[in-house]
């Protein structure tokens, strides 16, 4: 606290001040006995409504920025999924910001690591909404984490956009804050079983899945697809989430010698399972769901990945003849020249572009309500040829499923039929 200095006047000054004080007192008495003493003219106090107030903004919307949150796995056995989703989103945001942002506002992403654990996802979502004040949640990774985080976002009215999961519960139209981008796990497993039975004539199919809501969602889709063909799994194996404890499940499956195994899990444990199966001499077709993390899976498998199938829900990231892929590759290179293209970062880029489309459609007066309505009520959202369609009872934009296979060179190749691949 700043202190004031006291003046040190002499006796003469104090005496003069005393005379002046007495004279002032005498004059005040005269005022009281004669005419009333004049009072200062009141200073008018401005009315609270005299000046127009700024229109209140929804959380995350400032004069020069829009703050967007992401809770995803950036560590642990699924960490590469979050890293690549974030990279794709950041590339899309970088592209928009370089062009002036969204009606003059820059896009800013705040990402928190949940390690693919539901409890951390809840805590992160609350932090992002209540403490950080984000406008929306974008690009979450995983079914169990989304199952835990969505009720928090829904209660706060925060949009939950393009989660990296095909779980059926997120397709419930009553979830007013959720907008999905990708095809569902049911659609992926239907394509798997169709290709195995129709292309290769395989009927003895086993299923191995991660023991959580994600794995059970994929398992339920596989069961339904098999039942439509009067089939059932010849064996079922499961393993705990965020572990590589897959040996027991593999042994359970190996005993029946299936012709194919549908795998519902992440790249860490499933690469371990496939490598062990190769060592044990298990001769079977392995078909992975898109959530596996394709780039990381191929890298972990090395030469043993040849012939492993993966269903995808985004276009082939190396096909520059597609406008959306050309945009993605150009933008990714501009954002991070050292980055590697892949299916997950392409999905992140599409998620970012979807968010940008909804934000742009609202104009300068942005609100969560306008943003959600602009996506869910539009006839279509055209992302450079990759078209998304929503409706009153449909919060999923794309129904497309693509089939890929790892070649002997460790690269992915797009195929129409499983029989089209030759080692």
- Confidence band for 391, pLDDT divided at 50, 70 and 90: confident
- Confidence band for 55, pLDDT divided at 50, 70 and 90: low
Q: Quick check: do 65-183+319-392 and 186-312+403-420 share a fold?
A: yes
Domain ranges of the chain: 65-183+319-392, 186-312+403-420
Q: Which of 13-22, 146-155, 242-251 has the highest mean pLDDT?
A: 146-155
- Confidence band for 379, pLDDT divided at 50, 70 and 90: confident
pTM to 2 decimal places:
0.85
- Whether residue 238 is predicted with pLDDT greater than 60 in this model: the reply is yes
pLDDT at 66: 98
Average pLDDT over residues 17-41: 38
- Whether residue 387 is predicted with pLDDT greater than 50 in this model: the reply is yes
Average pLDDT over residues 234-255: 92
How far apart are alpha carbons 267 and 77 in whole angstroms? 7
How far apart are alpha carbons 359 and 369 in whole angstroms? 11
3-state secondary structure of 111: strand
Residues 6+ apart with CB under 8 A from 366: 57, 58, 61, 66, 102, 103, 105, 135, 359
- Higher local confidence (pLDDT), 61 or 1: 61
* Helix (H) or strand (E) run with residue 414 in it: strand 412-415
- Confidence band for 174, pLDDT divided at 50, 70 and 90: very high
- Confidence band for 3, pLDDT divided at 50, 70 and 90: very low
Average pLDDT over residues 71-93: 96
pLDDT at 376: 86
- Confidence band for 392, pLDDT divided at 50, 70 and 90: confident
**Token representation of residue 180:** 């999905």
Q: Are 156 and 126 in contact (CB under 8 A)?
A: no
pLDDT at 19: 36
**Token representation of residue 19:** 């005379």
pLDDT tens per residue, range 116-165: 999 999 999 999 999 999 999 999 999 999 999 999 999 999 999 999 99
pLDDT at 56: 65
- Confidence band for 178, pLDDT divided at 50, 70 and 90: very high
pLDDT at 38: 39
- Higher local confidence (pLDDT), 404 or 37: 404
pLDDT at 378: 74
How far apart are alpha carbons 126 and 389 in whole angstroms? 30
Q: Are 235 and 253 in contact (CB under 8 A)?
A: yes
Q: Which of 183-197, 202-216, 237-251, 281-295 has the lowest mean pLDDT?
A: 237-251
- Whether residue 49 is predicted with pLDDT greater than 90 in this model: the reply is no
186-312+403-420 belongs to CATH 3.40.50.2300: yes
Q: Are 286 and 230 in contact (CB under 8 A)?
A: no
Q: Which of 25-39, 52-66, 227-241 has the lowest mean pLDDT?
A: 25-39
Q: Rounded to a whole number, what is the distance in angstroms from the first to the last CA of the chain?
A: 80
- Confidence band for 70, pLDDT divided at 50, 70 and 90: very high
Query: How would you list the strands of the sheet with 106-113, edge to edge?
Result: 106-113, 65-72, 137-138, 160-161, 178-179
% of residues, the chain, pLDDT over 70: 86
Average pLDDT over residues 248-267: 94
pLDDT at 237: 94
What kind of fold does domain 65-183+319-392 have according to CATH? Rossmann fold (3.40.50)
- Confidence band for 96, pLDDT divided at 50, 70 and 90: very high
Q: Helices (DSSP H) in 71-117: which residue ranges? A: 79-98
pLDDT at 50: 39
């Amino acid at each position: 606290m700043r202190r004031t200095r006291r003046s040190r006047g002499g006796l003469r000054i104090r005496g003069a001040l005393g005379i002046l004080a007495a004279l002032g007192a005498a004059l005040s008495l005269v005022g009281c006995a004669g005419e009333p003493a004049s009072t200062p003219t009141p200073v008018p106090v401005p009315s609270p409504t005299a000046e127009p107030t700024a229109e209140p903004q929804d959380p995350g919307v400032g004069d020069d920025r829009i703050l967007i949150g992401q809770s995803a796995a950036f560590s642990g056995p699924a960490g590469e999924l979050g890293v690549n989703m974030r990279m794709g989103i950041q590339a899309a945001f970088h592209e928009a910001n370089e062009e002036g942002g969204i009606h003059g506002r820059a896009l800013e992403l705040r990402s928190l690591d949940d390690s693919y654990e539901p409890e951390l996802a809840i805590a992160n979502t609350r932090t992002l909404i209540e403490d950080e004040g984000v406008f929306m949640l974008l690009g979450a990774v995983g079914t169990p984490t989304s199952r835990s985080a969505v009720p928090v976002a829904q209660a706060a009215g925060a949009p939950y956009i393009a989660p990296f999961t095909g779980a059926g519960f997120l397709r419930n139209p009553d979830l007013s804050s959720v907008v999905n981008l990708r095809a569902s796990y049911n659609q992926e497993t239907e394509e798997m079983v169709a290709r195995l039975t129709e292309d290769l004539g395989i009927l003895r199919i086993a299923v191995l899945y991660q023991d959580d809501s994600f794995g059970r969602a994929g398992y339920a889709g596989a069961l339904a697809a098999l039942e439509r063909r009067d089939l059932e799994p010849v064996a079922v194996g499961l393993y705990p989430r965020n572990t590589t404890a897959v040996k027991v499940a593999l042994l359970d499956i190996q005993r029946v010698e299936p012709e194919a195994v549908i795998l519902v899990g992440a790249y860490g444990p499933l690469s371990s399972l496939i490598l062990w199966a190769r060592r044990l001499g298990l001769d079977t077709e392995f078909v992975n769901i898109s959530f596996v993390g394709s780039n990381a899976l191929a890298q972990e498998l090395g030469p043993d990945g040849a012939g492993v199938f993966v269903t995808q829900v985004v276009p082939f990231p190396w096909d520059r003849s597609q406008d959306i892929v050309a945009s993605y590759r150009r933008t990714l290179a501009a954002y991070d020249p050292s980055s590697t293209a892949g299916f997950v970062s392409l999905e992140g880029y599409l998620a970012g572009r979807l968010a940008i489309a909804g934000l742009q459609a609202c104009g300068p007066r942005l609100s969560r309500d306008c943003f959600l309505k602009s996506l869910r009520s539009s006839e279509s959202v055209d992302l450079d040829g990759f078209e998304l369609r929503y409706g009153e009872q449909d919060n999923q934009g794309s129904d497309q499923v693509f089939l890929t296979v790892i070649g002997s060179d460790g690269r992915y190749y797009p195929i129409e039929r499983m029989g089209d691949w030759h080692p």
